[in-house]
Homo-oligomer: A and B are copies of this chain.
């Protein structure tokens, strides 16, 4: 027997029910944290005018785009990230909302990269942004949300750290070291790769600015170089009880050209120091995207689904919390109706319908089957209860599958009875 012909494209995922449940755990946790922190949800299109991305990123992402010409001859691109669309949306609609705006989106993004562990050609991203507040309180509020997100996934102190930096510190450094303004992007690009670059290449690149790796490293290591914004953020987060989760790290500048101030990354502190999320201030992007029509300060961050999932699975207490959620949400139904006497099929259909209407998840076999087979199916469905409809109808039996105990009731008040029963714990019932 030949295998199926078609496969998902490389780097694209099929979410079978068990994988989809993990996805839903991530989405529900993200959505829950964002709402608790006063952010409202929006969504932008997955396909956009390519110019939007070229304008925003200065071409950095252009080699990774799913870019094509549509049937109307438009140059279009599957979004590699959400911020460009968001900046467009905000520029168009910001007048309708009081400031500051606190918005979030959970959306899929697409990049043509080599698929590998922890990276696909599509991924889901949790994007959170604050518009209309230029002060460090907005950055602190955003970093607090990043910390709340990690805590909501069950991570604890010691599992992760938020490393905060400020491009303004580097702008000051550049000025003090005679680096021309137009060379700053290039200079920041060197800083961005300082830990990954070969020593001799690094030395050579810095020499072009009359700098040495030692001099730059000394600047990074000196806490006196923290910006005023960083100090304000730290004080704000300390008031929230989050001091232990934050540290200064001037080596972080973030690759993308559009960041203008405070930048930060959330790191897995246990294992490989992977960045789980990152973001920062981008006060000029909306003006750039809108060609000067709208000018609004902004700060935002994003967390992808690949790295956070891996980190959850590698961290015992976070993995356990996810497992408990998945267990609780894995049942296809709560009540599985066993049609013990097929002449009672019509009655069984009515019962299932009444239960569903009352908000109870209920199912039944679609074809006649032996009672033992139906109970097996009930177990497989993950149902807590099997409701047995047999020759003694309207008398019904409700079997609690975990404890293998049972109760008896009647069809007339089945909905009230089972609704009531479902809110009680399992276990052998007193007679």
A238 to chain B, nearest CB (A): 8
A317 to chain B, nearest CB (A): 17
Known: A102-B332, A240-B349. A9 touches B89 (CB 8 A): no
Q: Do A4 and B47 touch across chains, with their CB atoms under 8 A apart? A: no
Q: Do B40 and A17 touch across chains, with their CB atoms under 8 A apart? A: yes
Known: A9-B76, A362-B36. A122 touches B239 (CB 8 A): no
A4 to chain B, nearest CB (A): 4
**Contacts beyond the supplied A36-B359, A241-B353: 7 A-B pairs with Cβ under 8 Å:** A4-B289, A8-B45, A10-B72, A17-B40, A38-B361, A47-B122, A135-B367
- Give 16 A-B contacts (CB < 8 Å), ordered by A residue: A6-B55, A6-B88, A8-B88, A15-B43, A15-B44, A16-B89, A17-B40, A17-B41, A20-B41, A24-B41, A37-B363, A38-B361, A38-B362, A66-B71, A102-B332, A240-B352
Inter-chain contacts of A3 with B (CB < 8 A):
293
- Enumerate A12-38 residues with CB–CB distance to B below 8 Å: 12-17, 20-21, 23-24, 35-38
Q: Do A353 and B44 touch across chains, with their CB atoms under 8 A apart? A: no
Q: Per-residue CB proximity of A37-67 to B under 8 Å, as 1/0?
A: 1111111111111011001000000000010
A84 to chain B, nearest CB (A): 8
Inter-chain contacts of A78 with B (CB < 8 A):
47, 78
Q: Is residue A282 contacting chain B, with contact meaning CB distance below 8 A?
A: no
Inter-chain contacts of A112 with B (CB < 8 A):
70-72
Q: Is residue A196 contacting chain B, with contact meaning CB distance below 8 A?
A: no
Range of interface residues on A (Cβ < 8 Å): 35 or more
Question: Complex: how many Å from CA A163 to CA B13?
Answer: 36
Q: Is residue A93 contacting chain B, with contact meaning CB distance below 8 A?
A: yes
Q: Is residue A92 contacting chain B, with contact meaning CB distance below 8 A?
A: yes
A327 to chain B, nearest CB (A): 14
Known: A3-B293, A241-B353, A289-B6. A14 touches B45 (CB 8 A): yes
Q: Do B89 and A14 touch across chains, with their CB atoms under 8 A apart? A: yes
Q: Do A4 and B291 touch across chains, with their CB atoms under 8 A apart? A: yes
Question: Complex: how many Å from CA A99 to CA B338?
Answer: 16
Q: Per-residue CB proximity of A249-293 to B under 8 Å, as 1/0?
A: 000000000000000000000000000000000000000011111
Known: A8-B45, A47-B110. A353 touches B144 (CB 8 A): yes
Q: Is residue A183 contacting chain B, with contact meaning CB distance below 8 A?
A: no
Question: Complex: how many Å from CA A353 to CA B141?
Answer: 10
Known: A46-B108, A144-B353. A360 touches B36 (CB 8 A): yes
Q: Per-residue CB proximity of A111-132 to B under 8 Å, as 1/0?
A: 0100000000010000000100
Q: Do B45 and A5 touch across chains, with their CB atoms under 8 A apart? A: no
Q: Is residue A173 contacting chain B, with contact meaning CB distance below 8 A?
A: no
Q: Do B110 and A353 touch across chains, with their CB atoms under 8 A apart? A: no
The 4 closest A-B pairs by CB, nearest first: A38-B363, A68-B68, A239-B346, A15-B43
Of B44, B144, B381, the residue contacting A14 (CB under 8 A) is B44
A206 to chain B, nearest CB (A): 34
Q: Per-residue CB proximity of A322-346 to B under 8 Å, as 1/0?
A: 0000000000110000000000011
Inter-chain contacts of A236 with B (CB < 8 A):
349
Q: Do B350 and A4 touch across chains, with their CB atoms under 8 A apart? A: no
Inter-chain contacts of A352 with B (CB < 8 A):
240
A416 to chain B, nearest CB (A): 17
A370 to chain B, nearest CB (A): 15
Q: Is residue A401 contacting chain B, with contact meaning CB distance below 8 A?
A: no
Residue of B nearest to A35 (CB): B361
Of B5, B294, B381, the residue contacting A289 (CB under 8 A) is B5
A7 to chain B, nearest CB (A): 8
- Enumerate A93-112 residues with CB–CB distance to B below 8 Å: 93, 96, 98, 100, 102-103, 108, 110, 112
Q: Is residue A159 contacting chain B, with contact meaning CB distance below 8 A?
A: no
Inter-chain contacts of A290 with B (CB < 8 A):
4-5
